[in-house]
Amino acid sequence: MKKFVSVLLSTVVCGTLASAKVVQQFEPEKDTSSFSGKPEVSFAIDLSFYYQGIDAPWSASKYASHVDYNAYGTSSTDTVKGDTESALSLPTANLDINAKVMSGFNVKLQTMLASHHHNETYVKGGYATIDNLDFIAPGFLSGFMKDATIKIGVNDINYGDDQYRRTDNANVMRNPFINNLAVDAADQGTHIEVLYRIPAISSFVVAGITNGQANPQDTLETDSYGTSSNRYALYGKVGFDHEYNDDWRLRITESVYNVESVNRQDLYLGDKSGNVIRNVYGTVNTNVLSSGWDPTRNYVNYKGTKQYTSAPDLLAAKTNLFVKYKDTELYGMYEMIDAEDTMGKSIKVNHYAIDLVQRFYNDKFWIAGRYENAVQEYKDSYNDLGDAELTQYQATLGWFLSKNAVAKIEYIDQEREKFSIYRDGKASFNGFMVNASLSF
């Protein structure tokens, strides 16, 4: 604990008590700025430190007999594996390179210098945002492009609104909490996306196509179990977002995502940085999911062969609500998932979460609470215990030391019931986390 206090104090020294008024940013504004004729390059850096105060014993014997221990970071030869203890966690760091290369044409390269899933430096992705098509011909489709933005590359797809309020490795500024949702639709895949704004009615429409994979392997033909690697998902969103005055803002969106007959989809396993929490439930440091859950990924008995795979057919719909009145924010999410495993067996998931955030003293301080619940209706091929259910509670205190520095402390409690991968269906953890971060 003394080590963390020294980290936090050093962050405080770096910060100031300047105003940090928070404006929730969702879809980016259209770039209409002038171009000097030379590329304009800028850099953004994020650095986060974590102290994980979770003490939770774990034994390999807690897994059901059908579970492949290696899939969960546990060796079948271990008698006890994966006990967690309170300690400092690996710091995370991001480096973004932004460039305006021509009028209305911006590019970004995102590099994760260190993360919990990949400890080594790697490229998260890169993409271009195009706000006019003058590079084709002056005024080309100017009537349409006046309110449109085209996005091409590898990045978070615009399914739902949660990606605008979540921690992205070391970038924590937009998240009032430390941890993300347990069922986290954060697919960082290759995609093409069009955002069209309708300012007269404070609305917008999004349409996109993606391969749905965090690590695409489409060039290798891998047709198996009646599915194929060469399948693409379609997604879209419609939304209303209006600020009535300085005190009131209302936003509501509806999103949909659909893919069929694919042998891999990463909609709920697409965060390349991994979870903030590490090592719970017997997972190793580099597991993508530790505290998180992908309810579309299950063990299936495919004609006598055991396989652990994602659902090849998936239709997901998500409703998001954001209401801000003065210094109070209410954010809600309801998601329905309708999927099938490789044997055509139905997987239905009902998932919802509600956040309440109260900010104080010109937004320098805040207190936040979240409740999340997900229920999976699925008849498991092995150790079926009924409908699996995950419940997660989070309570957070936050402090903007400056507009570039933040400190948070969070209590988190997660409970799992009727999960077929556990011998008795139950697993849980609780404890606290402390986070200090810089972004500049």
Q: Is 15's pLDDT higher than 60?
A: no
Give 296-347 pLDDT, tens digit per residue: 999 988 888 888 888 999 999 999 999 999 999 999 999 999 999 989 999 9
* Residue pair 197/131 in contact by the 8 Å Cβ criterion: no
Residue with the bigger pLDDT between 95 and 2: it is: 95
What 8-state DSSP symbol labels residue 30?
P
* Residue pair 301/315 in contact by the 8 Å Cβ criterion: no
Give the separation between CA 195 and CA 231, rounded to whole angstroms.
Answer: 23
DSSP letters spanning 143-182: HHHTSEEEEEEEEE--SSSGGGSS-BTTB-TT-SSSS--S
**Among 8-22, 208-222, 255-269, which is the least confidently predicted range?**
8-22
Q: Tell which residue, 349, 348, 345, has the closest CA to residue 303.
A: 345
User: What pLDDT shows up at residue 69?
Assistant: 62
Res. 86 pLDDT band, cuts 50 70 90: confident
What CATH number is given to the structural domain containing 98? 2.40.160.10
Residue-range definition of the domain harbouring residue 402 = 2-439
What 8-state DSSP symbol labels residue 2?
H
Tokens 């460039």 found at: 99
Give the separation between CA 168 and CA 173, rounded to whole angstroms.
Answer: 9
User: What pLDDT shows up at residue 82?
Assistant: 65
In the chain, the number of structural domains is: 1
User: What pLDDT shows up at residue 9?
Assistant: 44
Give 157-192 pLDDT, tens digit per residue: 999 999 999 999 999 999 999 999 999 998 888 999
